[in-house]
Structure 1
């Protein structure tokens, strides 16, 4: 076994690898960019080395800086994790040239399987069925269009050099093929440095099944069963489980054997995953999609049902040891399910979010495992992938694992960053998910039912109660009594104090409070005067800790995770989080531009403007693409809300923008006959 291993990655996977290194008594070396100087993987490693600024190209993607860090710390091996350089054949070769063991497959296998076009041809020759699609590498836009017409719509555009759903585009309308090809190339170039595309037939209502393989350098190749990865958004997995309810023992053996042949066909060594697309109505008609020549994000579910530590197996194989077991030694026991917690807002099309983690509580122990790269106080930013952590549950059967995972997500608190934890909890309660009737389109098809119906009124009520209970000025400090929002007036019932509160992306809500003895009356909504309006609720703060608040409203106790930020109050419950901010209607009326203005275009997420297609004074059509904002490897196109003229343009390519920051203004066309 190695004595020192450098982990050439960040976030939860770096923390995960470091955990196994520590268990084996191996010294760990972390690397970090300026954006990650205080990150959890840096804190938990035995040694940490700065490798450059926040930009991945100058840090985590810099082969020279990574090798220099390994040399300076005496590392004997490099674990690439997943993402970044994990499937970069040049990096694997550079490690070997520097005398370092690359904890992954040979560079030749990475190169072959990393090119999806060559990979399909190779496994097809080995007798593995493949998805019908284009042939040949380096196809031009015109050739991709021609191949799509030959295959027949709908088709799936895929980057040849990458995975993880980045750059993938499902195209149903031939009229938009050219635009989608251009967008797929941009995203592929940004994510993988290679804009080569292929096109495949789209299988309607498919299931995504992948097989975990392990191979040593002594000729042993085994599979560790399958993972069901059909629950996806934007072609990226959000929930994975092992085993799949779709596969019979016979089909599992057949697909496992195909995966083993795919691994043998490229001379594979180490841990890898062979991915298949499976028609839901005919599971026996499975097709090879691609092979991931690295550890997968979802590897924990396989670990839990097999009892194997896959990182440990990677290390031992890379050190030259044989696996020590054959296929008969692989036994699947129980059921495991994983949910990916990401910095994104499902209600806004899963747009990436970001921010500082103000409060953090992650479940672990017993039947729950959380793999996380988070610590309180760290800024998640928008530079890297949006995945923050993974919550994994194990049970003797699938129903138990589902129930445990739903409870664990309800107990997950990440305040300061909008996450998808509440969405995941609702997804796991969806009838089709509970029954195992899955396909890759389920999330998008049923998204409205997976989102909360609206902001619970008690969220606004609690925010108003917290504001009303704000501490008085320090002793001895002068305060203007007319600034006190305590409802005092000369005689009679205390007056209502009105606060306008809003959540990002939503209209402000008027919330009225006034003291009533030991409690406070609260009226949520646009009611003007109490007379003739709905009865207000009576609430009071029962307890308030550093990161939680308990409030009683009309005899019902509500407990929220709580954190304060400069912009407002964060409240969390059952995996959901709300950022309640003060809204000044007077300032807005005096000319403040809000993101709700019909012609005002605001950034839907924090990120970087990569494309600007217009200039001030340009005439634009309704729906015309004006700008592109990129964050966490995702592009979002900003389109004209109506026909008109660009009157303001506040950004240029390369501009860094915050969520809700104004980007441009499009004045609508004057109505015909207007003065």
Structure 2
């Protein structure tokens, strides 16, 4: 067994691997970029090595930097986590040449399955059903456009390298193909360093069901049953669960589960797979007997905890990371298929730093308060253990909240309660969206498909309930006044807003609050007997508070009378305006495309600039028609609300 293992990753997965290494008595080595100097995974490791500046290409994606860190720390093996270099053939080969064990599959397996085109061709040769399409190396745009005509629409454009749904685009017509291909190539090149694309028929309303496999170096391979990952947004998983409610509820579900498991094992054996991996299938909701191979993820999956929570080996739980390490060290797999069983149900929700009501844009900044849920049958795998930073350089996932129940209904109820306890102050998150999603009737009934979230459209921004708002007003009223103080150190009674007046009568005190640009005048109640809302002032802006209650989490600004009047006038001006002539960036990021030139005539709704952050590209469009002036260049780093272009409206 290894004595020292380096974890070539960050965030929650680095912490999760370090936890298992500590249990196994193995010394852990963490690596970090300048952006992660004070991160939780750095504090928890036995040794740490700096690998470069904040950009991933110069740190976590730098093969020479990781190899050097292994030499400095004496690591005998590397656990890659997921993302970054976890499925990179060059990285596995470099470790092999350096005499360092890669805790993952062989170079040959990575080569066969790490590229979607090769993987599809490979499994087709082993009688595994695949979705109709064209998957050949080196296809240029012209070849893909010709193929699209013969395959028919709708189509799905997919990058050959990488995963996680990045760079995948659904296309409904030939007219949309050129722009979609261009965007897909940009995203694939940026995220994976490879812009190779292929296309396949889009299966409408499919279910995404994947099978976890585990294999040793002696050819012993088992499957650990399935997970359902059908709740996705733009091909990115949001909620995952095990087992699949589709197979659980169907009378013939056990037989389909067995067939799917056998197909996954055969796919793994066909490439002499070693370690933990996942074979992903598209399953028709109408005809679940029909399933299609999508890809094999040659690494640990983000959603692996739900498998750990429900799978039992002769009645005992298993640790997938532990088995990854043992298999990589040459130990035989002591698990037989007949010893495996499913107990109960588990559901996982991914908590992201993003703003669902603003198109799920990433939310970057400092988290000044973080509280993870606790309790029976609740697991929290988090990147944070308290205050921390959310960087635009990396994926915006903060935490994974996992709940177990004796059945699916109980697991969902436990998950909802756990999400309600999860508190993140400082950046916006999708927690309220997640709670609304699992409360939907179709989700509760297990009527899932991969288009369910996108078909619902953009969610509306939540508002505090009257009960929560009352408690927030009371808490805000007790905070130090924000009105200017006189030189003598006292505050003018005219500025206190406590309801006092010259007649001696007392009006009910009130506060004026800005809640997401909505100005609310709220009466301050008397002393609260029981407070269930958490209200904390922002550490650097005392006029701003963050509140968390039963109705959600809110960023709220306490306004002076002058500010309230100004906000009201600004809101009325926006209502009567034809649009803003300034096109601003909705998030901090990098300029990756400029669709127009200075002096061009543009129309309202036309794309002007593309901004990318956290591997997500957002198109900034014109709100008015007129002549455009571009104020940025390709590659520029821009801040949130920075003006990217200005339009002189047509007369």
**What is the TM-score with the length of structure 1 in the denominator?**
0.88
Which residue does the alignment assign to 1:490?
A: 502
Change (3 A) 1:136 1:364: same
Which residue does the alignment assign to 1:159?
A: 159
Which residue does the alignment assign to 2:442?
A: 432
Deviation, structure 1 residue 468: 3.4
Change (3 A) 1:615 1:287: same
Change (3 A) 1:509 1:64: same
Q: 1:470 aligns with which of 468, 479, 498?
A: 479
User: Aligned partners of 2:567 and 2:191: how far apart in 1?
Assistant: 39
Which residue does the alignment assign to 1:571?
A: 547
User: Aligned partners of 1:510 and 1:408: how far apart in 2?
Assistant: 30
On the 8 A contact 1:423/1:451 being kept in 2, the answer is: no
Which residue does the alignment assign to 1:280?
A: 285
| Count of aligned residue pairs for this structure pair | 630
Deviation, structure 1 residue 611: 2.3
User: Aligned partners of 2:287 and 2:551: how far apart in 1?
Assistant: 36
Q: SS in structure 2 opposite 1:227?
A: strand
Q: Root-mean-square deviation (CA), in Å?
A: 2.6
1:645-656 to structure 2, matched below 5 A, reads: 645-646=627-628, 649-656=630-637
Change (3 A) 1:332 1:626: same
Whether 1:634 aligns to 2:639 is no
Deviation, structure 1 residue 582: 5.1
User: Aligned partners of 2:610 and 2:473: how far apart in 1?
Assistant: 37
User: Aligned partners of 2:558 and 2:589: how far apart in 1?
Assistant: 24
Change (3 A) 1:284 1:405: same
Change (3 A) 1:609 1:585: farther
Gaps of 5+ in 2: 248-252, 312-316
On the 8 A contact 1:161/1:194 being kept in 2, the answer is: yes
User: Aligned partners of 1:433 and 1:173: how far apart in 2?
Assistant: 30
Residue range with higher mean Cα deviation, 161-170 or 657-666:
657-666
Please list the CA deviations of residues 296-322 of structure 1 after superposition, one character each: whole Å capped at 9, or x if unmatched.
Answer: 000001111112100000000000011
User: Aligned partners of 1:474 and 1:585: how far apart in 2?
Assistant: 19
Which residue does the alignment assign to 2:589?
A: 607
Q: 1:659 aligns with which of 631, 636, 640?
A: 640
On the 8 A contact 1:225/1:243 being kept in 2, the answer is: yes
Residue range with higher mean Cα deviation, 466-475 or 240-249:
466-475
Deviation, structure 1 residue 108: 1.2
Whether 1:75 aligns to 2:61 is no
Change (3 A) 1:455 1:181: farther
Q: SS in structure 1 opposite 2:525?
A: strand
Gaps of 5+ in 1: 512-521, 523-536, 544-549, 552-557, 671-675
On the 8 A contact 1:358/1:563 being kept in 2, the answer is: no
User: Aligned partners of 1:169 and 1:83: how far apart in 2?
Assistant: 20
Which residue does the alignment assign to 1:518?
A: none
User: Aligned partners of 1:483 and 1:363: how far apart in 2?
Assistant: 40
Which residue does the alignment assign to 1:289?
A: 294
Change (3 A) 1:459 1:631: farther
Which residue does the alignment assign to 1:262?
A: 267
Deviation, structure 1 residue 395: 1.4
Please list the CA deviations of residues 79-102 of structure 1 after superposition, one character each: whole Å capped at 9, or x if unmatched.
Answer: 000000000010001111111110
Which residue does the alignment assign to 2:250?
A: none
Residue range with higher mean Cα deviation, 586-595 or 24-33:
586-595
Change (3 A) 1:457 1:381: farther
1:54-203 to structure 2, matched below 5 A, reads: 54-203=54-203
Deviation, structure 1 residue 476: 9.8
Change (3 A) 1:590 1:333: closer
Deviation, structure 1 residue 427: 1.1
On the 8 A contact 2:471/2:528 being kept in 1, the answer is: no
User: Aligned partners of 1:4 and 1:475: how far apart in 2?
Assistant: 63
Deviation, structure 1 residue 622: 2.4
Please list the CA deviations of residues 414-463 of structure 1 after superposition, one character each: whole Å capped at 9, or x if unmatched.
Answer: 11111111111121111111111110111122356x65664545666555
Change (3 A) 1:18 1:142: same
Which residue does the alignment assign to 1:515?
A: none
Which residue does the alignment assign to 1:249?
A: 254
Q: SS in structure 1 opposite 2:322?
A: helix
User: Aligned partners of 1:54 and 1:575: how far apart in 2?
Assistant: 36
Whether 1:311 aligns to 2:311 is no
Whether 1:392 aligns to 2:402 is yes
Deviation, structure 1 residue 135: 3.0
**What is the TM-score with the length of structure 2 in the denominator?**
0.91
